[in-house]
Amino acid sequence: MKPCTLALCGCAVAAAAVLGPSLYAQRGSDLPAGPPVQVTANGRTWTQQQLFQRNIGGADDQTAQFPPHKIIGSVYYVGTRSLSSYLITTPQGHILVNSTYERNVPTIQKSVEQLGFKFTDIKILLGSHAHGDHMEGDALVKQLTGAQVMALAEDVPALRAMQPGGKPHPVDRVLKDGESVTLGGMTLVAHLTPGHTRGCTTWTMKVQDGGRTYDVVIIGSLGVNPGFKLVNNTDVPQIADEFLRAFKVSRSLQCDVPLGSHPGMFNMAEKYAKLGIGGPNPYIDPAGYKAELDLDETMFHAVLAAQQKAASQASVAPTAEIKVLSSTALKGVLEELVPQFERATKHTVVIQYGTAASLKRQIEQGQPFDLAVLTLAAMDDLIAQGRIAAGTRTPIARSGMAMAIRTGARRRDVGTTDALKRALLDAKSIAYAGEGAAGVYFTALVQRIGIAEALKPKSKVTASGLLVGEAVVNGEAEIGILPLSEILPIRGVEVLGTFPMEVQGYAVMVGGVSAGAKAGAAAHHLLEFVTAPDALPVIKKKGMERG
């Protein structure tokens, strides 16, 4: 399976954890949703979501080590594929910029050591901004190295609230805008570039390489995360002005080598690939710095304009009834999120659940609806038929495939493919929904592992996931095959296990707005609501993960 392509920001997730309910207040949920904001800069078109996704990557990108390497002079990359960490070495010890998530600290340590440096030689720890994907690991890095943690004053309150595992966030020196941090002949200057967070910090330094001096800039972040409120933001009423200040400051900086808190901000993968093939250092890219500022600033103004327009229309926004056709895999999630949405918007949401295949047939037969939540395949088919508006296709969440047994029933080992095979061959009976995502996956799986024929006589194929649950509860089936998210709400069953990693599959749930929607804007809005960063805890609780 392809790793997740959907957007859920490390940044915003972390912010939700840090800010709790106050982040909710920053979302645009009291505004009617318009079409997605889209801009063209440097000859390429981006939606707000795509730009955000470019930065944070998929879940794997946030944790997988990127090959550690020298960027220029004494500046090295030691981060993951989508979360930047920089090591700046000096004869008197080193400076680390960005600890990223706490779980990434061992990876950063490994990268530092692979470059031939000692992690314990890190004397100073800095960060890009007070979001967990950049600075959650500060306490652990300090614990391992004794480094002094320094941050701009404006980010200190948010940092103090960041306490992974209950550990207080260390801040040893509070910096003012424009202040310098010096170690072993290297000087880094902290520039306040607020907006993304109150104390979002762009670091600059002069670096020697090959007898020349280069201006290096580590962009803190100039991004407006999806759902972030620029208009009527009660927490920071002047938020738009803060972003404008960040653009002004960023444009005033000399830059030969643009870097950033996410590698996507300076096309690191592309530049890294060019290293060692001769020619000038690909990281020297003043035009790339300007292009990134142009893109971020264009996006900021587009998002601001869209929110201003929505706000001016909000007072006359009518309430609507939204008809939703949803795969049962997302039932648990919608049952929790939809009432919140209804309270926030005064819209009414009417949902019909079923297998993706049966809902797809209803749509093909002309059943009216506003929003559909289906498997990828069903969604793409309906888009091809012109029944769902292509631009609205949005991954919501995915659920791993799992096995259910009656509560208290005998548990079998399903931890490896061999054990799984034995368990399925030994089971008295197995149930799955023939047209459900799990049924389709399971049919292909047993074919692939060569036990399809052996299972046939004892397989019960049902018309829905609900009937699979019933068969397990009343003992007609010993094992029921369902997406994990569908097992959790069923009373009287328990999860035997998810499928072993090497054969695991996912039911990816994708939302799309009907091409003939009556309540199109409200349906858009609902789709944004369930894909907003705030929805992630609910998605996780219901046994799902981001698409």
Q: CA end-to-end span of the chain, whole Å?
A: 11
Binding site for Zn ion (CB under 5 A): 11, 131
Contact by Cβ (8 Å): 187, 208: no
CB of 17 to Zn ion, least distance (A): 12
The beta-strand segments (E) located in 428-484 are 430-433, 459-462, 479-483
Residue closer to Zn ion (CB basis): 12 or 88:
12
Q: Measured from the CB atom, is 82 or 375 closer to Zn ion?
A: 82
Q: Which is nearer to Zn ion, 131 or 191 (CB)?
A: 131
Q: Where are the alpha helices (DSSP H) in 118-195?
A: 132-135, 138-145, 156-160
Q: How far is the CB of 486 from Zn ion (least distance, A)?
A: 34
CA distance 193 to 51: 19
**Minimum distance between the CB of residue 11 and Zn ion, rounded to whole angstroms?**
3
Residue 328 is given by DSSP the state G
Q: Which lies closer to Zn ion via its Cβ, residue 222 or residue 509?
A: 222
Residues in the chain, total:
547
Closest CB to Zn ion belongs to which residue? 11
Residue 135: CB minimum distance to Zn ion, A = 9
Spatial distance between the Cα atoms of 161 and 175, rounded to a whole number of angstroms: 18
Contact (CB, 8 A) for 7 and 52: yes
Q: Distance between CA atoms of 87 and 486, rounded to whole angstroms?
A: 45
Rounded distance between C-alpha atoms, residue 313 and residue 163, angstroms: 40
Cβ-based nearer residue to Zn ion, 128 or 459: 128
How far apart, in whole angstroms, are the C-alpha atoms of residue 335 and residue 323? 14
Task: Provide the minimum distance between the beta carbon of 59 and Zn ion in the complex, in angstroms, as a whole number.
Answer: 16
Min dist. Cβ of residue 12 to Zn ion (A): 7
Give the nearest distance from C-beta 196 to Zn ion in angstroms: 6
Three-state DSSP string of 410-426 = CCCCCCCHHHHHHHHHH
What is the distance between the alpha carbons of residues 204 and 178, in angstroms, rounded to a whole number?
Answer: 10
Comparison of 131 and 347: residue with beta carbon closer to Zn ion: 131
Provide the minimum distance between the beta carbon of 448 and Zn ion in the complex, in angstroms, as a whole number.
Answer: 41
* Closer by beta carbon to Zn ion, 8 or else 513: 8
Phi first, then psi: give them for residue 113, nearest 5 degrees: -70, -35
Q: Pick the closer one to Zn ion by CB: 56 or 291.
A: 56
Pick 54 or 131: Cβ nearer Zn ion: 131
Shortest distance, position 82 Cβ to Zn ion, whole Å: 12
3-state SS of 175-189 is ECCCCEEEECCEEEE
Neighbours of 130 (CB within 10 A): 31
Closest to Zn ion by CB, 11 or 303: 11
Compute the least distance from the CB of residue 8 to Zn ion, in Å: 12
* CA-closest candidate to residue 108, choices 87, 129, 132: 87
Report the distance separating Cα 231 and Cα 312, nearest Å: 10
Q: How far apart are CA 367 and CA 351, in angstroms?
A: 13
